Amino acid sequence: MPLFDKKDKSRYATFTRRSVGLGGGMTLVFAVLAGRLYQLQIRDGDQYKTAAEDNRVSERLIAPPRGRILDRFGVELANNRRNYRVLLVAEQASDGVPAALDTLSKVIQISDAQKKRIAQTIAQNKKFVPVPVAENLTWEEFSRINLHLPYLPGVQPDVGETRAYPFAEGMSHLLGYVASVSPEDLKDDEDPLLDLPGYRIGKRGIEKTFDKEVRGEAGDSRVEVNAYGRVIRELGHDPGVVGPDVWLTVDAELQKFVAERLGSESAACVVTDVTNGDVLALVSSPGYDPNQFNVGITNEQWRALTTNDHKPLLNKVMGGTYPPGSTFKPTIALAAVDAGIATEDYRIHCGGSMTFGGHTFHCWKKEGHGSQDLHNGIKNSCDVFFYETARRVGIDKIQEAALKMGFGAPTGIELPGERSGLIPSRAWKQKTYREAWQQGDTLSIGIGQGYVTVTPLQLAQEATRLVSGRALSPRLVHMVGNKLSKRDVAAPVAFSDEAFQRVRDGMVAVTNEPGGSAYPWRITEAGYEMAGKTGTAQVRVFTKEEHARGITKNENLDWKLRDHGLFIGFAPIVNPKYAIVCVIEHGATVAHVQVQMARDILLFAQKRGTLDKPTAYPVKAAERARTNGGG
């Protein structure tokens, strides 16, 4: 009997075909899986391993400490201090964020506006991310938080670093400040450091000019995170490279004395080294506290700064422009001597005024000075002498002389926001007013009035060039890190030695000969004597009626209508070392306060011996090697 009948054989064949098909399908599936495994583990294994590692390990930028700013003797003008702050982790606040903030506000002061801002920041982040609640806490506040920490769930005390300015207002316009990054800053700077929460950059002064240099090189922290981004542990830490220090030419003690001497006046003062143009002090008064901008200025503080009529936010040294008044007369005198007009026997008679073109030009001395030569014209600051002298010299040569002395263009100092002032010319007036230049315009320029405007820094440059005879410009930065600031050799100013000497002699007479316009406020100590030139700059033109009524005196006018008081000078008169300019807005009085301030400052600088003390500038590596006997 057969083992299978035909019917059974048919069923067996069908089963076999199905088994083969199923087996083939399974084989194909396993082949595809094997191929995929090969692709993932062998062919693309390194790629996926890297991706997995990137998901597991997170690299985060670390902002390095900002480079310090130092004076010529190594005194810290801007440094980094500890920043005591408190953070809040939302998921650890057991009673919720509002309750946690309410509890914390019983320990330190937190306003409702701050609470609202903190709640918004927390809502924008994951609940396990620490969010800053308050920064720059005092040690007492920080201690209280640590003391009550068991009762403050979710609160984390933390210690970081922040910028500090030990001299506050006295250095504000020189150093500037750092503040939070704005959207405008991100447009022009692609540095990833700017994306760090709370990162601050230089906004004004030296902080802005050398911001990128003092940032240093960013560090990084490698941390292991889980699938939700929570930090599990730190795998590596590189703090980065601290920014290089910036060494200034200023003397912190002299700067401090100048700021104290200017007091609450709306004023500007610059002291320079006449041998090389180094700025020893640069003060605009009143100043502001740059620390406020770092920690976060309040609306009340900002309103007080912006509504103050003394303009504490304006750097008057280089951002304020003024008629130079009689401080411009030395430049007129230089032009007159070199033009062959102001010879030794050149004299002008002053009767208190002169009439030209139907207009009366007054001298400051109503009864006049009588016959004046160049020496006495400078000594007495005789307006009539310089009206007539300027007329004879002409505007073209006056403009040429002014440009030689550095007026009409930025000095190039290492600070942002410098203005050019204005030295007018025939072409300028025609272009600006569509009018021809008149000789009456030249007369006004002769006493530093009319269209001419200058900055106090340009006046300091004038004083420095008058003494040195070279085209020196103010310099504020000596070195950044180990790199010396570029300094070109100053060429002689294109005036004769005779012209310089006669002008300097006239300035010596101003303060040291009886009758000189600054004689009552001279330095009387032997060896410290100063020379200079006073100046009074009108802020408006007085009418004939006002002259007749005698209300042109500053004491009879509101503060904003009073003349500006100016003074340029140098000391000592034998082998000069220091040049100075002092400008007091609306401060021209019979007492010549600006001269008294300059006198005290020059005397302090000389007795302190700022230029006689050894500086602490770092020695460049190659020079250090040679000094130590290296190659």
* Spatial contact of 566 and 531, defined as CB atoms under 8 Å apart: no
Type of residue numbered 53? E
The 3-state DSSP class for residue 320 equals coil
CA–CA distance, 309 with 620 (Å, rounded to integer): 46
The 3-state DSSP class for residue 350 equals strand
Pairing state between β 246-248 and 69-70: parallel
CA–CA distance, 533 with 507 (Å, rounded to integer): 6
Query: 266, 326, 425, 517: which is the annotated catalytic residue?
Result: 326
DSSP state of 342: S
Helix (H) or strand (E) holding 236: strand 231-238
CB neighbour class for 395 (10 Å; exposed up to 12, middle 13-18, buried from 19): buried
Query: Mind giving me the DSSP string for 315-365?
Result: -HHHH--B--GGGGHHHHHHHHHHTT-S-TT--EEESSEEEETTEEEE-SS
* Spatial contact of 571 and 602, defined as CB atoms under 8 Å apart: yes
At 26, list the tokens: 């399974």
Beta-bridge mates of residue 219:
62
Sequence-ordered list of residues with C-beta below 8 angstroms from that of 437, at least 6 positions apart, any chain: 395, 425, 426, 429, 430
Helix (H) or strand (E) holding 443: helix 439-446
Tell me the backbone φ, ψ of residue 64, rounded to 5 degrees: -75, 160
End-to-end, the C-alpha distance of the chain in Å comes to 113
Q: Cα angle vertex 92, ends 91, 93, to 5°?
A: 95
Q: Over 17-48, what HEC string results? A: HHHHHHHHHHHHHHHHHHHHHHHHHHHCHHHH
Is residue 94 flagged as an active site residue?
A: no
* Spatial contact of 571 and 528, defined as CB atoms under 8 Å apart: yes
CA–CA distance, 151 with 139 (Å, rounded to integer): 19
CA-based torsion, 578, 602, 251, 168: positive or negative: negative
Helix (H) or strand (E) holding 116: helix 112-123
The 3-state DSSP class for residue 83 equals strand
CA–CA distance, 407 with 429 (Å, rounded to integer): 17
**Number of neighbours of residue 130 by Cβ within 10 angstroms:** 17
CA–CA distance, 486 with 278 (Å, rounded to integer): 13
The 3-state DSSP class for residue 55 equals helix
Helix (H) or strand (E) holding 484: strand 483-484
Query: Mind giving me the DSSP string for 580-631?
Result: EEEEETT---TT-HHHHHHHHHHHHHHHHTTTTSPP-PPPPHHHHHHHTT--
CA–CA distance, 177 with 533 (Å, rounded to integer): 35
At 560, list the tokens: 């904003």
Place of tokens 């292991």: 224
The 3-state DSSP class for residue 70 equals strand
Place of tokens 């006295």: 170
* Active site residue ranges: 326
